[in-house]
Structure 1
Amino acid sequence: MRILAILCLLLLAPAAGAADRAQRAFDREIERKAAQAVVWGIPAVNYDLMRQEMLAKTPGKVGQVIYWGHPLDWKNQTLTPNPDALYFMVFFTTKDGPVVLDLPPAEDKASFNGNIVTAWQLPLEDAGLLGYDKGKGGKFVVLPPDYKDKLPDGYIPLKSEVYGGYMLFRSNLRSHGDADVQASIDYGKKLKVYPLSAAANPPETVFSDVKDILFDSTIRWDASFFDNLNRVVQEEPWIVRDRVMIDELKTLGIEKGKSFAPDRHTQSLLTKGIREAQALLEAKYDAGLPPFFTATSRWTYPAYPDLLKAVQADFNEPDAYPVDHRGVAYSYAYIGIKRLGAGQFYSISIRDKDGHAFDGGKTYRLNVPANVPVQQYWSVTAYDRKTHALIKNVSRASRSSQIPDLVKNDDGSVDLYFGPKAPKGKDTNWVPTDPKRGFELMFRAYGPTPEFFDKKWILSDVVRVGK
């Protein structure tokens, strides 16, 4: 009997080993495809995180407007936002028909910069003083996929591949003073949102001030990422260029028309996959973007050149689809810009002049040369290096040319300081950092002129001061 039992075990062992190998192969497939799905899907998840935060924490609803009634502070935990403009945001869906974004003309002391994007954050159009309308305002109408009807005269059609999307409307500030902030709010509230079907008698647009709400849409690097991704897959039609992902997502349990309910084992594999994607995206970001001002500048383009080119072509280039670079971009930022450089341009720095990562426990100086070639304003903002959101629990996040008491040097340049404490006598020109965390910087040029892109004006690299 003992010999028979041993023989049975020997006969069964190869089969058991094969089953184990097969299971490991299937598990690796889920992990691998989960990582790929994260890189591909992060623009849509980025969008959905903001939308869900609005629905869960604010009075706002789809088709209404939420706004921050003062310059953004750290309670706005979106990715690399601008604390030197007032933010108005509206999420929309065209499932029931076209949606009108009726935007106001610029006024003597009021204007805006706006971007309208799809649920995949593909830019539909830029609006405002330096947008499509050139400050005249206009009735932008977002059309659902395959919309065939003729629009009435006077509308600016925006053809979308999907139903969902949002608009970011930045109401410009003359200064951070109370009166100018209120004027910016009043101007922003002139925008209107309504269905095209109600254009003859539009309902009143609802506005909700969310300035005191902790609004956190930073990327969740855990298995919940796939809940957000599944929601978008269920809501939106497949874009032709993305159909290759249908089977990829099916492996993960995400399939249009079916519930997504991964078991505990699959959840663990999804978690491994997203952590792999996180490590990859962070490594690519840390490797740096192409320098902008000079060949050795630590100030870089805001995204990869091939991605910027693809955006201008609506991702319809026959031989290019930079999904990987898009994934990196939407891990640290949100919104899409149709004509980057016409209304605004951004430059990122993650290292000082000597190539060292910024340390929140050290002090740094940035010299902004005089006569910045912009029509509107410039600003520099510090973000948490890990989350790419505003640094938590600090008194302010940026300094800009809108600050009347910003101290200038004799040559007209401005020295800005970043660190845990203000250098003596430099408080006005200082941006606080968290001594326990790294940080990164973004330079914004609103209304950049040709001299900016001709590199006739060059932003200095950041230098560390003191010990």
Structure 2
Amino acid sequence: MTAEAQPPPADPFATEGDLPRREDLGHIFDELDHQMACQAYLWALPLVAYAQWQKVHRETFGAGPCDLVRYLSYQDRLGLITANATTPYILNFIDLSETGPLVIELPAGPTAGGVSDFWQREIGVMGEMGPDKGAGGRYLIVPPGQQPPADAGDLRVLVSTGVNIMFGFRTLDPDPERAQALVDAVRIHPRAADPDENPTRLVSPQGRPWSGDQPRGLEYWERLYGIYQTEIVDERDRFYLAMLRQLGIVKGEPFTPDERLTRILERASAVGERMAQANSFAKRFAGARYWPDRQWDLVLMLDRSDQRAEHHDQLLERAAWFYEAVSFSAAMKSQTPGLGQAYLATYTDAHGQWLDGAKSYTLHVPANPPAKLFWSATVYDITTRCLIDNPQQRGDRGSRDRDLQYNDDGSVDLVFGPEPPSGPVGESNWVQTVPGRHWFSYFRFYGPLEPYFDRTWCLGDITPL
């Protein structure tokens, strides 16, 4: 036995000869159901996240199926998992069983967006990375199981892979007036209805507290049960449906867990989240570490929108991304210099320790970050995975900040900590952290350039002061 090897764990259950004691069978089945629930928790993360967010849109914001919710202010975005704090988000969650075939009209202009199902698989790309290439266009979203119409005309037809969809986009124009004009020109309406009778409203969160992350405890399973009643589940997932049945979640039947099952589900949601945290914040996927001598990881380890690799489906890669983020777009995996986005994340400091809101750190950004449009470094609360809710009400610093202070060589030193720095950098390069809360950071490249792809430009680690 090597020094690293450990003896196998002892069997936790007593036996009668070669079989478990009959009085232990209940405990064994409890453990079986708990383990199935933990796996079902990881499997359902993208579905439950969108179901939760859809509920917020309907019940908290009062958004209808042809409306758009615009997340503009910092306060608006505090419930949005790993939102960037630079560009606004405009989106909604639509049940195609209510609307039927749906028309989306997108104006010409610098936008990035698209449509995805509730498994967060991309159905179609729109904007600069889509077939319209920023020239605008009219799209028809056809519900699953329906044939595309023969008379689509100038409509670009997308056949949905789910009953529920998310349509969202971001305006990339830094001018607020031009960006607002783009948002105002978007139209959503059922194809069978007069668009003038179904005007698209812009809805604002208006500072109301909300959360788009997956709920905890029994509520996680209640949200999963609710969306499962109408949503499509692929053939590849039928074994997970068998697990759900054992956990009391059955299509067309009420979800009424007894005391035993409630206890198992509540424990599994807690343990499942710990597994999700480890899977996201201590990635063990091959190729996750972007530079071998730095702490920065590639955030998005999914190969494709359909979450499939050559010989398997990317269950853990999917769970990692959709625990700490929402939505997938081909633009996020762009390999074309100057187009799309690139995301790196760090969850630890230069010495491999979790980032602590009570401590102060610095991040050195070398000159000429390889981003055609802009770059930003953003701080997120580790528990909510949302923008840090600090007294400063600011979670990022980046190249669009007019007051950002640069060093003589063009590099930038950012500071993260509970108190503003007293040195020459000042508050213009500072993001406030919260004592008692751990945090992590994303570094974004909008329009990543060749030195990012060939890794000749290297970002510093977040280093304790």
TM-score by length of 2: 0.88
Q: Distance in 2 between matches of 1:223 and 1:117?
A: 27
1:239 and 2:253 matched:
no
Aligned to 1:152: 152
Where does the alignment leave 5 or more consecutive residues of structure 1 unmatched? 1-16, 175-179
Contact 2:76 2:205 in 1 (8 A): no
Counterparts in 2 of 1:456 and 1:140: CA distance versus 1, 3 Å: farther
- 1:296 offset after TM fit, Å? 2.0
Secondary structure (helix, strand or coil) at the match of 2:88 reads strand
Alignment of 1:321-340 (within 5 A): 321-339=313-331, 340=333
Cα distance in 1 between the residues matched to 2:151 and 2:347: 47
- Once the two structures are overlaid, the 10-residue window that deviates more, 280-289 or 134-143, is 280-289
2:368 corresponds to: 371
Larger radius of gyration: 1
Any idea what the Cα deviations from partners look like across 1:20-47, whole Å, max 9, x if unmatched?
4232233222212111110111110011
Q: How many residues align?
A: 434
Shift of 1:126: 2.9
Does 1:189 pair with 2:184? yes
Shift of 1:291: 4.6
Could you say if the C-alpha distance between residues 300 and 115 of structure 1 is closer, same or farther in structure 2, counting changes exceeding 3 Å? Answer: farther
Aligned residue for 1:126?
125
Per-residue CA deviations over 1:187-232 (Å, capped at 9, x if unaligned) read 3222111112237767311111114121212222311101111111
Pairing of 1:385-404 with structure 2 (within 5 A): 385-395=382-392, 396-404=394-402
| Residue 61 in structure 1 maps to residue 64 in structure 2 | yes
Match of 1:206 in 2: 201
- Alignment partners' CA distance in 2, 1:279 and 1:190: 43
- TM-score scaled to structure 1, two decimals? 0.87
Distance change in 2, residues 1:182/1:263 (3 Å): farther
For structure 2, the 5+ residue unaligned runs are 1-19
Q: State which drifts further: 438-447 or 23-32.
A: 23-32
**Aligned residue identity for 1:170:** R
Contact 2:298–2:343 under 8 Å retained in 1: yes
Q: Please name the residue that 2:452 is paired with.
A: 452
The percentage of aligned residue pairs carrying the same residue is 27
- C-alpha deviations, 1:346-398, integer Å up to 9, x for none? 11011122222211111111122222222211111001122211112332010
Match of 1:382 in 2: 379
Amino acid in the other structure paired with 1:153: G
CA distance in 1, matches of 2:206, 2:130: 27
Deviations for 1:396-435, whole angstroms, at most 9, x for unmatched residues? 0101211112111111111111111111241111111002
Correspondence 1:320 to 2:323: no
* Contact 2:90/2:170 (<8 A) preserved: yes
Whole-angstrom CA distance in 2 between matches of 1:240 and 1:197: 31
1:106-136: CA deviation from partner (whole Å, max 9, x where unpaired): 1xxxx22213211111112332234442211
| 2:162 match | 162
Q: For residues 446 and 27 of structure 2, what CA distance do their matches in structure 1 show? A: 52
Which secondary structure state, in structure 2, belongs to the residue aligned with residue 224 of structure 1? Answer: helix
Match for residue 411 of structure 2?
A: 413
Q: Kindly report which structure 2 residues correspond to 1:54-133, keeping only aligned pairs within 5 A, or say none.
A: 54-70=57-73, 72-73=74-75, 76-95=78-97, 96-106=99-109, 111-133=110-132
The residue aligned with 1:250 is 245
Q: Of residues 222, 234, 246 in structure 1, which corresponds to 2:217? A: 222
Letter in 2 for 1:328: A
CA distance in structure 2 between the aligned counterparts of 1:82 and 1:352, rounded to whole angstroms:
21
For residue 101 of structure 1, give the secondary structure of its aligned residue in structure 2. strand
**Counterpart pick for 1:272 among 257, 267, 275:** 267
Closer/same/farther in 2, CA of residues 85 and 55 from structure 1, 3 Å limit: same
Contact kept, 8 Å, 1:366 with 1:415, in 2: the verdict is yes
Conserved 8 A contact 2:123-2:161: no
Query: How far, CA to CA, are the matches of 2:350 and 2:21 in structure 1?
Result: 56
Alpha-carbon distance in 1 for matches of 2:197, 2:451:
43
